């Protein structure tokens, strides 16, 4: 029976090619617009580390007076003082302070120019915390952190570039004229958004290819390659920078259970209270512990462009559907006499429903196919609208293709309910009476 | 009132020319009640559509109330239809979206008549056909006979000089048909000119004069039809 | 004309009427807001920077393995080499430049004893060549003198004795227009500090940031007579007319010839100011384009929907159009019937749509950094949609007016 309805549907669609084309185009455009913007939204709203997103917490401590805070939220990074204090307290299962640095890599081959890679200074714990896969070797040890050792972990791409992909563990690389021993090479690791440094990258940037100990970077007076925000001018010199109330360091703690998280929050409050007693803070403890998803949300990693355009596109789809309801109504009611005859020949309401919904489904499917083409084109053109860092994440994969067809068909069938209901209301004798 | 001389109507397609009316002559005097009969396909409906200025004709002359209509443009023809002619159709042709009152109002609207006068006329016309109480009903809620009476009221509301009726009882049962016929006779007695197309001899016999059309030509049964027709053709040639 | 009977007839076609009105309403709501977004973005991206944009090249440089003393001497060597290049009008070195994306900002005060600055402003490290290299226009006072320029460490900031500020900032801190020669205090949340005398005012100089958050100090810039000894910085090179293209290749080549121990990023390392502007406003321009496309397609679809549904209505009402014609309606009467009908539906749609547009805007205002919708956009949108409706209905209405009166006598 389905085949018969489908055949009837196709025949009917061919009978009003213009009306059919209109509907298919409306659905195609509506679905494509929604899918293109959704692909961007999906990329930006992605959970970059789903298996651990509720175990990793970013720490915030209000070290500025309340009137310098935005909506009484503590700043989104820590001072050196606080970051080091939390590292020394060592109250989480694992923890790391981190900040982006900008050393230059000097190739051993003197004919090659020095270059820079996205580099992070952090603690050896970070690799295990962030589930970073190793190709060769492993993280540097806690002892090496403590010794401010000149060691490094390379990204796969950098290892390919410097050592042609060979196992480079134990070899040295030159950063800003100083040798660093390679302890490990990680496999491709590029969480999107880059949750661990959302405050500097806004979630999206070039993948990190080089990691060195935080303690070593501080020894080397490596200035940050990220934000450095102050509520008062810090004074001159590196030492003044470290002592200042300027914020530039992210701090992450791994707290596998809710109890541990609650415990850590108590510890943070206690730490802030201590600072208050010591006279550093002149205000009540104000601390935050946000897990990965909360952190990304707080950092507004999903750009407003992405949200607004998704909303506008959904509105667009809605209009296209209203349009489709109208056109389907026109199309179905034009066939009122035919429906009357079919009803007189013994078609039940149910069969009329089935016939017209199948017809609508065919329109929706055709719209979906057009939408798929347009989505493909649109995804290529996303770079025109969004930051290239984000645009390249928007891809037309199988799940998006499936979703496009599904949304198109489902939406059209939904839109067809009212016109179909109207069609099914046609009485067998109706056409004889109306003129 | 209505005078056609040597009138012809040709439907042209790419392949053939079909004469619907050929050397057609008729003269309906003011106040007459003429029934036009003939087999189906003889051209009675074509005659009526031309008489009602619904269609143009190909050759000959047509004087309506003394006016030669062949040269009139579309707007002028609309105005004549609106002011001088009332139509009664076999299928009633009420507008299903409008209620009885609004249906009767349609031709008056197009005449640009003032609201108060419109209302007066509509109520008079509905009174006349005995449907004043149904003013708010929609056509679908009325019986066939009632619908036709609304159509007659609509035709009457504009006080037309000429009433054209196309099988006015064709879609009605005998009893309803009789009622409609009596209404037409009453209207005629009050002075209107009526031209009614019908294939029902009984109905036709109630008119003052019968005109018979065969193959697009008038055969006046009250005289010697064939000879007359033949003569006309010779004269035309 | 005959509004009452049209309304009466529309009541019998509620579904179609409501659908068209709804479509018009939703379209109006989205188009108004989209146009407003376009206008906001476009007004942002046409803002002048105060830079001689067609003549400026920027190069991002960082020294490899250099301490403060060596970095400073290398930078000086670079500047000499750049200024001596054929095709170069002038060159300077700074921490940032307009639309760069990253930079430094401080608070500006006129009273050292208050804690809260009057406003934020960006700090551009400059020397006596900077104004010329940027192509900024000095409209009052004087440029820095060579002997005023100091080389300072990357972790040092000490208020300078002299500053040059933008006109917008001068008016902000000294609204009476008397900024020249007066002191300003560059500080954050602390009191005290050294005064910096305003020795010059440039007509315009934008801050490095193009984001909405910087929009309340977009032209508040302070040039300080400092050069950073740090490893990072940007060269701002102003080409002689017609020489810009040649310099984009020649400048990095010269720099690497002068000293190899540097990194000029492969991506975004060497940019003409046109590229700088392009990249800074990429998402604004993209958003405007996207909204424009959405508007155009939306209007087209709505128009097509009206054409489709009205055509259907005309087809459905052929008989009654014939009857109306038979009863004396002129072609013009029929045409105006459909135009009026559409206008009535459109009017219903735009009333709801205007309310939706404003509601949607209020929602956007509360959730995103958006401004309140100007009513002008609603008015323009209303007129545009009514015209669109009339335009869309014209073809089917013309078709309706051509239905011959004889249609009335044809059987169904």
How would DSSP label each residue in A156-201? HHHHHHHHTT---TT-EEEETTEEEEEEEEE-----SS-GGGHHHH
B140 contacts in A (CB within 8 Å)? 433-434
Average pLDDT, chain B: 84
**Is the Cβ pair A316, C30 closer than 8 Å?**
yes
For strand A115-116 and strand A104-106, is the pairing parallel, antiparallel, or unpaired? antiparallel
Element (H, E) at C76: helix C68-83
Residue in C104, C117, C103, C105 with CA at minimum distance from that of residue C185: C117
Indicate yes or no: CB of A236 within 8 angstroms of CB of C158.
Answer: yes
* B128: confidence class by pLDDT, cuts 50, 70, 90: confident
Minimal CA separation from A432 to chain B, in Å: 11
Residue from the list C8, C13, C326 with its beta carbon closest to the beta carbon of B87: C326
Lowest mean pLDDT among A89-93, A292-296, C104-108: C104-108
In this model, does residue C105 exceed pLDDT 90? Answer: no
* Distance separating alpha carbons of residues C407 and C393, to the nearest angstrom: 22
Q: Give the residue on B whose Cα is nearest the Cα of A430.
A: B140
What mean pLDDT comes out for the span A230-249? Answer: 86
CB contact under 8 A, C327 and B89: no
Under the banding of pLDDT at 50, 70 and 90, the label for residue B175 is confident
Among B98, B109, B154, beta carbon nearest to C9: B98
Nearest residue of A to residue B93 by CA position?
Answer: A435
| Lowest-confidence region among A393-397, C47-51, C199-203, C311-315 | A393-397
C319: closest CA of chain B, how far (Å): 8
State how far residue C154 is from chain A, nearest Cα, in angstroms: 8
- Kindly list the residues from chain C whose CB atom is less than 8 angstroms away from the CB atom of residue B91: 411-412
Q: pLDDT class for C411, splitting at 50, 70, 90?
A: low
Cβ-Cβ pairs closer than 8 A, A with C, add up to 165
| A333 Cα to chain B: minimum distance (Å) | 15
Residue C314 has pLDDT above 50, yes or no: yes
Nearest to A68 among C154, C189, C291 (CB): C189
* A434 contacts in chain B (CB < 8 Å): 96, 140
Partner-chain contact B140 A435, CB within 8 Å? no
Residue A435 has pLDDT above 70, yes or no: no
Residues in chain C: 412
Q: Has residue A364 got a pLDDT over 50?
A: yes
User: Hey, is the C-beta of A144 within 8 angstroms of any chain C C-beta?
Assistant: no
Q: Is residue A434 part of a domain?
A: no
One domain, residues A293 and A319:
no
pLDDT for the residue numbered A433: 42
Rounded percentage of chain A residues whose pLDDT exceeds 90: 50
Planar angle of CA C233, C238, C244, nearest 5 degrees: 110
CA gap A72, C339 in Å, rounded: 58
Mean pLDDT in residue range A60-87:
91
- Span C50-59, average pLDDT: 95
Are A402 and A315 part of one and the same domain? yes
SS3 at position A149: coil
CATH numeric code, B30-56+71-221: 3.40.50.300
Residues in B closer than 8 angstroms to C404, CB to CB, are: 54-55
Beta pairing class for B33-37 and C138-141: unpaired
Co-location of A280 and A393 in the same domain: no
pLDDT, position A430:
44
Q: Same domain for A310 and A285?
A: no
A140 and A213 Cβ atoms separated by less than 8 Å = yes
Å between C241 CA and nearest CA of chain A: 30
The pLDDT tens digits for C356-399 are: 999 999 988 888 777 888 888 899 999 999 999 999 999 999 99
Full DSSP string of C231-254: SEEEEEEEEPTT-HHHHHHHHHHH
For residue A67, what are the domain limits?
A: 56-298
How far lies C272's CA from each of C57, C86, C122, C129, C275, in Å?
4, 17, 22, 19, 5
A116 Ramachandran zone, left/alpha/beta (phi>0; psi -120 to 50): beta
**pLDDT per position as a tens digit, C209-221:** 988 778 889 999 9
Q: Tell me: the pLDDT tens digits for C236-261?
A: 999 999 999 999 999 999 999 999 88
Q: Which helix (H) or strand (E) holds A104?
A: strand A104-106
Structure tokens at C374: 């100007």
* pLDDT of the residue at A391: 77
Residue B140 touches partner A, C-beta closer than 8 Å = yes
Residue B113 in contact with partner chain C when CB distance is under 8 A: no
Distance (Å) from the alpha carbon of B30 to chain A's nearest alpha carbon? 34
Distance from the C12 Cα atom to the nearest Cα atom in chain B, whole angstroms: 6
What does the pLDDT read at residue B220? Answer: 64
Report in angstroms the alpha-carbon separations of C299 from C33, C218, C302, C343, C354: 14, 35, 5, 16, 16
A contacts of C262 (beta carbons < 8 Å): 114
Whether ipTM > 0.85 holds is: no
Chain B residue with the nearest C-alpha to that of C13: B97
Which among B93, B102, B109 is the nearest to C408, CB-wise?
Answer: B93
Does residue A156 sit in the same domain as residue A260? Answer: yes
Cis peptide before C159 (omega within 30 of 0): no
Of C298, C308, C364, the CB nearest to A22: C308
- pLDDT single digits (tens) A316-354: 899 999 989 988 888 888 788 778 777 777 778 888 888
Average pLDDT, chain A: 88
- What's the domain count of chain A? 2
Per-residue confidence band for C124, with pLDDT thresholds at 50, 70 and 90: very high
Question: Is A435 a member of any domain?
Answer: no
How far apart are the C-alpha atoms of C168 and C182, rounded to whole Å? 15
Could you please report the per-residue DSSP string of C289-342?
A: HHHHHHHHHHHHHHHHHHHHHHHHHHHHTHHHHHHHHHTT--HHHHHHHHHHHH
Nearest to B81 among C320, C327, C409 (CB): C327
Interval A71-77 mean pLDDT: 91
pLDDT digits (tens, 9 = 90+) for B49-75: 899 888 888 889 999 988 898 888 888
CB contact under 8 A, B91 and A435: yes
B74 closest CB neighbour out of C323, C327, C331: C331
Task: Tell whether A32 and A93 lie within a shared domain.
Answer: no
pLDDT at B169 over 90: no
Same domain, yes or no: A83 and A68: yes
Return the pLDDT at B222.
Answer: 56
Residues A8, A98 within the same domain:
no
Contact C110, C184 (CB under 8 A): yes
Each residue's pLDDT tens digit, C249-297: 999 999 999 998 899 988 889 999 999 998 888 888 888 888 898 889 8
Contact yes or no for B54 and C406 at CB 8 A: yes
Query: Does the pLDDT value for residue A398 go beyond 80?
Result: yes
C interface with B, Cβ–Cβ < 8 A, is 2, 5, 8-9, 12-13, 319-320, 323-333, 404-406, 408-409, 411-412
Interval A163-186 mean pLDDT: 94
> How many CB atoms are closer than 10 A to CB B13?
7
Q: In chain B, which among 36-95 make CB contacts under 8 A with chain C?
A: 45, 48-49, 52-55, 74-75, 78-79, 81-83, 87, 89-91, 93, 95
Task: Place B236 in a pLDDT band, splitting at 50, 70 and 90.
Answer: very low
Q: What is the mean pLDDT of residues C66-74?
A: 87
| Closest residue, chain A, to C66 (C-alpha) | A176
* A51 within some domain: no
What band does B234 get if pLDDT is binned at 50, 70 and 90?
A: very low
More confident residue, C192 or C225: C225
Helices (H), C119-203: 130-134, 167-173
Q: Is B95 on the interface with A (CB under 8 A)?
A: no
Q: Given a cut of 90, is residue C232 above it in pLDDT?
A: no
Chain B: give the shortest CA distance to residue A350, in Å. 26
Last-in-domain residue among A298, A315, A339: A298
The distance of B122 to chain C (nearest Cα, Å) reads: 15
Name the residue facing C5 among B55, B90, B102 (closest C-beta): B102
Checking if the pLDDT of C1 tops 90, the result is no
Mean pLDDT of B142-168: 88
Share of chain C above pLDDT 70, in %: 99
| Domain boundary pick from A298, A329, A355 | A298
């Amino acid at each position: 029976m389905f085949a018969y309805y489908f055949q009837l549907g196709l025949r009917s669609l061919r009978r009003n090619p213009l009306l059919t084309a209109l509907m298919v185009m409306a659905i195609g455009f509506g679905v494509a617009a929604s899918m293109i913007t959704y692909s961007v939204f999906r990329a930006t709203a992605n959970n970059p580390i789903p298996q651990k997103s509720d175990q990793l917490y970013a720490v915030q401590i209000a070290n500025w007076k309340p009137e310098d805070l935005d909506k009484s939220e503590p700043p989104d990074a820590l001072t050196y003082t606080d970051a080091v204090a939390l590292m020394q307290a060592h109250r989480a299962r694992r923890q790391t302070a981190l900040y982006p640095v900008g050393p230059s890599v000097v190739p051993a081959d003197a004919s090659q120019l020095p270059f820079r890679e996205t580099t992070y200074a952090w603690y050896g714990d970070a690799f295990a915390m962030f589930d970073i896969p190793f190709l060769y070797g492993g993280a540097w040890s806690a002892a090496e952190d403590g010794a401010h050792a000149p060691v490094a972990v390379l990204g796969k791409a950098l290892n390919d570039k410097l050592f042609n992909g060979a196992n480079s563990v134990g070899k040295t690389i030159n950063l800003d004229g100083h040798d660093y021993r390679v302890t490990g090479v990680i496999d491709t690791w590029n969480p999107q958004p880059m949750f661990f440094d959302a405050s500097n990258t806004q979630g999206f940037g070039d993948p990190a290819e080089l990691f060195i100990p935080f303690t070593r970077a501080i020894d080397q007076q490596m200035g940050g390659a990220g934000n450095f925000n102050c509520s008062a001018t810090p004074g001159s010199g590196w030492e003044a920078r470290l002592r200042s109330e300027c914020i530039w360091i992210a701090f992450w703690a791994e707290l596998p259970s809710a109890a541990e998280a609650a415990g850590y929050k108590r510890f943070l409050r206690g730490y802030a209270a201590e600072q208050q007693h010591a006279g550093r803070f002149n205000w009540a403890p104000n601390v935050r512990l946000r897990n990965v998803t909360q952190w990304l949300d707080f950092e507004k990693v999903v750009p407003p462009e992405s949200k607004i355009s998704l909303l506008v596109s959904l509105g667009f789809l809605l209009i296209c559907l209203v349009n489709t309801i109208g056109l389907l109504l026109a199309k179905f009611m034009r066939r009122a006499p035919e429906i009357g005859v079919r009803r007189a020949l013994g078609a039940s309401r149910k069969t009329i429903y089935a016939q017209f919904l199948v017809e609508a489904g065919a329109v929706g499917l055709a719209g979906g196919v057009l939408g798929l083409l347009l989505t493909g084109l649109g995804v290529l053109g996303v770079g025109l609208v969004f930051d290239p860092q984000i645009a390249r994440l928007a891809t037309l994969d199988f799940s998006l293709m499936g979703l496009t067809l599904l949304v198109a068909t489902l939406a059209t069938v939904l839109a067809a309910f009212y016109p179909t209901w109207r069609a099914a209301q046609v009485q067998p004798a109706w056409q004889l009476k109306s003129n | 009132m209505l005078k056609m001389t040597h009138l012809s109507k040709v439907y042209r397609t790419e392949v053939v020319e079909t004469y619907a009316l050929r050397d057609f002559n008729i003269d309906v005097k003011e106040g007459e009640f003429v029934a036009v009969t003939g087999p189906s396909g003889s051209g009675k409906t074509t005659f009526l559509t031309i008489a009602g200025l619904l269609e143009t004709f190909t050759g000959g002359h047509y004087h309506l109330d003394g006016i030669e209509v062949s040269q009139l443009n579309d707007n002028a023809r609309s105005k004549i239809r609106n002011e001088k002619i009332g139509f009664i159709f076999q299928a009633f042709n009420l507008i299903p979206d409008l209620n009885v009152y609004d249906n009767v109002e349609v031709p008056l609207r197009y005449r640009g008549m003032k609201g108060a006068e419109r209302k007066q006329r509509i109520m008079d016309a509905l009174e006349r056909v005995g449907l004043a109480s149904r003013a708010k009903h929609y056509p679908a809620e009325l019986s066939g006979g009632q619908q036709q009476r609304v159509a007659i009221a609509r035709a009457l509301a504009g006080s037309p000089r000429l009433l054209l009726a196309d099988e006015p009882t064709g879609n009605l049962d005998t009893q309803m048909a009789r009622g409609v016929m009596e209404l037409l006779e009453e209207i005629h007695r009050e002075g209107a000119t009526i031209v009614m197309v019908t294939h029902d001899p009984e109905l036709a016999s109630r008119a003052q004069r019968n005109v018979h059309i065969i193959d697009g030509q008038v055969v006046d049964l009250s005289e010697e039809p064939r000879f007359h027709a033949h003569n006309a053709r010779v004269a035309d040639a | 004309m005959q509004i009452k009977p049209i309304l009466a007839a529309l009541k019998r076609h509620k579904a179609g009427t409501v659908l068209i009105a709804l479509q018009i309403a939703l379209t109006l709501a989205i188009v108004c807001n989209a146009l407003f977004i376009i206008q906001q973005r476009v007004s942002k991206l046409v803002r002048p920077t105060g830079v001689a944009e067609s003549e400026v090249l920027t190069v991002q440089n960082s020294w490899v393995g250099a301490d403060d003393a060596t970095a400073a001497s290398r930078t000086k060597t670079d500047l000499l080499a750049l200024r001596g290049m054929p095709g170069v009008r002038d060159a300077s070195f700074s921490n940032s430049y307009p639309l760069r994306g990253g930079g430094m900002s401080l608070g500006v005060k006129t009273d050292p004893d208050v804690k809260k600055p009057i406003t934020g402003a960006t700090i551009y490290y400059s020397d006596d060549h900077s104004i010329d290299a940027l192509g900024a226009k000095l409209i009052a006072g004087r440029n820095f003198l060579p002997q005023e320029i100091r080389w300072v460490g990357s972790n040092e900031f000490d208020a300078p004795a002299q500053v040059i500020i933008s006109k917008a900032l001068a008016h902000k801190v000294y609204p009476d227009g008397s900024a020249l020669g007066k002191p300003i205090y560059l500080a954050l949340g602390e009191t005290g500090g050294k005064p910096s005398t305003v020795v010059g005012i440039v007509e315009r100089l934008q801050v490095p940031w193009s984001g909405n958050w910087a929009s309340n100090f977009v032209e508040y810039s302070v040039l300080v007579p400092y050069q950073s000894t740090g490893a990072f910085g940007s060269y701002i090179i102003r080409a002689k007319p017609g020489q810009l293209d040649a310099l984009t290749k020649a400048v990095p080549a010269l720099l690497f010839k002068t000293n190899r121990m540097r990194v000029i990023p492969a991506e975004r390392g060497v940019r003409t100011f046109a590229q700088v502007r392009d990249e800074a406003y990429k998402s604004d321009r993209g958003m405007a384009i996207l909204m424009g496309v959405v508007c155009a397609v939306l209007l087209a679809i709505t128009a097509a929907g009206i054409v489709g549904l009205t055509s259907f209505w005309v087809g459905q009402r052929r008989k009654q159009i014939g009857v109306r014609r038979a009863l004396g309606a002129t072609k013009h009467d029929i045409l105006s019937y459909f135009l009026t009908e559409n206008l009535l539906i459109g009017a219903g749609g735009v009333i709801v749509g205007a309310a939706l547009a404003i509601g949607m805007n209020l929602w956007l205002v509360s959730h995103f950094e958006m401004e309140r919708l100007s009513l002008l956009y609603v008015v323009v949108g209303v007129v545009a949609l009514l015209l669109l409706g009339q335009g869309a209905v014209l073809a089917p209405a013309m078709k309706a007016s051509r239905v011959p009166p004889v249609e009335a006598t044809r059987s169904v």
